[in-house]
């Protein structure tokens, strides 16, 4: 999971979670809507059935059991409660404030949080449904949703979820073996997995998949470079210079030998073509010339948040 998604999940979990200790609770229906600066579309509101300890609707600090988020300076005047908040999810820190008003069997509130390159506002409301419930069971349910492997479409998605799997106290620590097996198998033969792993390792706040899974990167790079072709050239060229050069030479020769030349100038023209002088040559299937700067793989903050939004939709059902 990428850093932005990790931070957002921490906030959502904190908002919806309860104390991990078994305690009698009551069912409430909570509706929330998140807005993030830079998001090109509005995220839809989501409604969840949550289990809140009896009386916990009057005290947001009582309902939050997520160790990654801490509420401080909780002050209650009449039926209105205000607080400050700090979330630290795998090195991604977000701080902010919130307020909530409770009236009988309902409540409504608002939270504002900001991080290094993210600002988020969450507006939420709740109404009492009644019925007894066990708060510990709700924690287990939320944990199950976060660790649901069906949300991970490929090994790259597993890599981005590594902080929730590889840390000693990780929520999904029992999936460590699955993650390492997939990375060892796919990084050596799939360009997307290989480049995703490199990008993930570059983020200092992420736990290292390479070290945790004892991955031999030299052997992995050597293996994946053998797969270099026109389709993955832009992903692997910078990491596989020898293979990229050989590929370019082969493709240039195919193109040059396929051209029409006059009998008198054929030898000279073919030699000039093969040298690549004064010509802009591009490998087939979207590759690029040796003189061109390699296309960098990576995600912008906006695309990062888009991916996070899509995964949140699947994770929390909205």
Low-confidence ranges of the chain (pLDDT < 50): 1-6, 13, 16-21, 64-65, 278-281, 284-306, 308-318
Q: What is the pLDDT of residue 43?
A: 75
Q: How many angstroms separate the CA atoms of 258 and 277, rounded?
A: 17
134 and 50 together in one domain: yes
Q: What is the pLDDT of residue 155?
A: 95
56 and 107 together in one domain: yes
43 and 132 together in one domain: yes
Q: Which two tokens stand for residue 56?
A: 């916990």
141 and 83 together in one domain: yes
Tens digit of each residue's pLDDT (9 = 90 or more) over 105-128: 898 989 888 887 778 888 989 899
Q: By three-state DSSP, how is residue 166 classified? A: coil
Name the strands in the sheet holding 92-103, side by side, starting at the edge strand that comes first in the sequence: 46-53, 24-36, 119-134, 106-114, 92-103, 80-89, 69-77
Question: Beta-strand (E) ranges in 90-207?
Answer: 92-103, 106-114, 119-134
What is the domain extent for residue 263?
231-295
pTM for the full predicted model: 0.53
Q: How many angstroms separate the CA atoms of 208 and 205, rounded?
A: 9
260 and 277 together in one domain: yes
Q: By three-state DSSP, how is residue 190 classified? A: coil
Domain membership flag for residue 269: yes
Of the residues 83, 111, 146, which one is the last residue of a structural domain?
146
10 and 138 together in one domain: yes
Domain membership flag for residue 71: yes
């Amino acid at each position: 999971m990428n850093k932005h998604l990790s931070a957002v999940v921490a906030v959502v979990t904190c908002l919806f979670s309860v104390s991990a200790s078994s305690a009698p609770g009551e069912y409430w229906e909570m509706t929330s809507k998140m807005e993030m600066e830079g998001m090109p579309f509005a995220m839809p509101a989501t409604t969840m059935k949550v289990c809140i300890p009896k009386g916990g609707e009057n005290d947001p600090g009582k309902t939050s059991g997520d160790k990654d988020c801490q509420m401080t300076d909780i002050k209650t005047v009449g039926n209105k409660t205000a607080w400050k908040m700090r979330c630290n999810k795998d090195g991604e820190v977000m701080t902010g404030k919130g307020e909530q008003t409770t009236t009988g069997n309902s409540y409504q509130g608002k939270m504002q949080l900001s991080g290094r390159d993210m600002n988020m506002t969450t507006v939420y409301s709740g109404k009492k449904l009644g019925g007894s419930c066990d708060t510990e069971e709700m924690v287990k349910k939320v944990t199950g949703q976060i660790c649901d492997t069906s949300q991970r479409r490929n090994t790259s998605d597993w890599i981005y979820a590594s902080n929730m799997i590889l840390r000693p106290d990780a929520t999904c620590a029992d999936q460590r073996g699955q993650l390492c097996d997939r990375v060892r198998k796919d990084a050596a033969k799939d360009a997307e997995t290989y480049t995703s792993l490199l990008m993930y390792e570059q983020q200092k706040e992420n736990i290292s998949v390479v070290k945790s899974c004892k991955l031999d990167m030299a052997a992995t790079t050597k293996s994946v470079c053998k797969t270099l072709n026109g389709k993955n050239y832009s992903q692997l060229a910078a990491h596989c210079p020898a293979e990229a050069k050989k590929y370019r030479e082969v493709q240039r020769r195919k193109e040059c030998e396929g051209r029409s030349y006059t009998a008198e100038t054929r030898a000279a023209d073919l030699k000039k073509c093969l040298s690549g002088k004064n010509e802009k040559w591009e490998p087939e299937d979207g590759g690029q010339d040796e003189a061109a700067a390699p296309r960098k793989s990576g995600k912008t903050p906006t695309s990062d948040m888009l991916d996070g939004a899509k995964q949140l939709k699947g994770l929390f059902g909205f």
